Structure 1
Amino acid sequence: MKINHLDLQVADVQATVLHFERLFGLTLESSRNSPAVAIMSDGEGFTLVLQRRNEGETYPERFHFGFLVEDPDRVRAFQALAKSEGFDVSDVIENGRGTLSYLRMPDGLLVEVSNQRRRTHVTEAPTSSST
């Protein structure tokens, strides 16, 4: 099973489209003129749908979604770009999970960009049987 799309409710559809194009490299697949809905693609099979949210609707405080990048330097480059453009972005965090940074979009949506540390699987050595 593979995730197909994510549908997010945002305050300003077209402003959010511009942020996702510039910061995350997504491509707009629908009309640039619609104030109500936008369909975006990552070019690898994932679709992001942005819809205008109803007044007063908000996400739970810790709700977020994330993008994976190839290496820690991409996380650092993303964080620097977002910071230079005046976004509310966390410092780069390095922990047991990897390297990550969180961006708070202008309407409150939280987005994570991370490079996950490779996990190693421990396997037990085969036991020898005596003959």
Structure 2
Amino acid sequence: MTTQCTGPLNHLSLPTKNPIATAAFFEQHFGCQIVAVGEHILLKRDGFDIVLDHTDDEVSWPANFHFGFEMATLAEVKHLYRTFKEQGVLMETEVFNNSRGSRFFCRMPEGIMIEVNTREDRAESWKKLF
């Protein structure tokens, strides 16, 4: 019997004071589908679930806590950056390359950081890793 979990990562659960606004953000900007609304909101995207749990408590996140969405090309990353900026999404960075590929960081409602990246232009040393 294995002592490690071998199942796939299947969901992310986020506490939020405003699950409706957070769900709308994910639906509008990341193409998530809202499939259940109640005490919790369930979003689906590419076989992955995002559960938004209502809380009345202040939610505190470590400064660099984030999760990422990967785009196929640098052109897509740049286009999404411009679109987000025009739509008033809180942007943390410009598009930049850190050798693993180009990316930008933005914040969703209530401050959780999101990375949007591409590996299309990653440095040669990273190509054998992903």
Quick check: which one's helix share is greater?
A: 2
Structure 2 residues not aligned, in runs of 5+: 1-6
- Give 1:92-131 correspondences, 5 Å limit: 92-116=95-119, 117=122, 119-121=126-128
Could you report, residue by residue, the CA deviation over 1:94-125 in whole angstroms, capped at 9, with x for unpaired residues? 22010101111231111111112273339xxx
Count of residue correspondences = 118
TM-score (norm 2): 0.82
Amino acid at match of 2:23: V
Residue matched to 2:4: none
The secondary structure found in structure 1 opposite 2:24 is: helix
Query: Given the superposition, is the C-alpha separation of residues 98 and 11 from structure 1 closer, same or farther in structure 2, using an over 3 Å criterion?
Result: same
Could you report, residue by residue, the CA deviation over 1:59-113 in whole angstroms, capped at 9, with x for unpaired residues? 1121111111111112112111110111111211122010101111231111111
Which of 22, 27, 30 lines up with 1:21 in the alignment?
A: 27
TM-score (norm 1): 0.82
Which of 4, 8, 17 lines up with 1:2 in the alignment?
A: 8
CA distance in 1 between counterparts of 2:102 and 2:64 reads 19
Question: More displaced, 89-98 or 53-62?
Answer: 53-62
CA distance in 2 between counterparts of 1:79 and 1:69 reads 12
Amino acid at match of 2:25: H
CA distance in 2 between counterparts of 1:114 and 1:75 reads 6
Flag the structure with larger Rg: 1
Moved over 2 A (4+): 117-122
Please state if 1:78 is matched with 2:80: yes
Which of 54, 57, 64 lines up with 1:55 in the alignment?
A: 57
CA distance in 1 between counterparts of 2:128 and 2:103 reads 22
Could you report, residue by residue, the CA deviation over 1:20-65 in whole angstroms, capped at 9, with x for unpaired residues? 011101111112xx3x3110111x2111111113422311121111
Structure 1 vs Structure 2 CA RMSD: 1.8
Structure 1 residues not aligned, in runs of 5+: 123-131
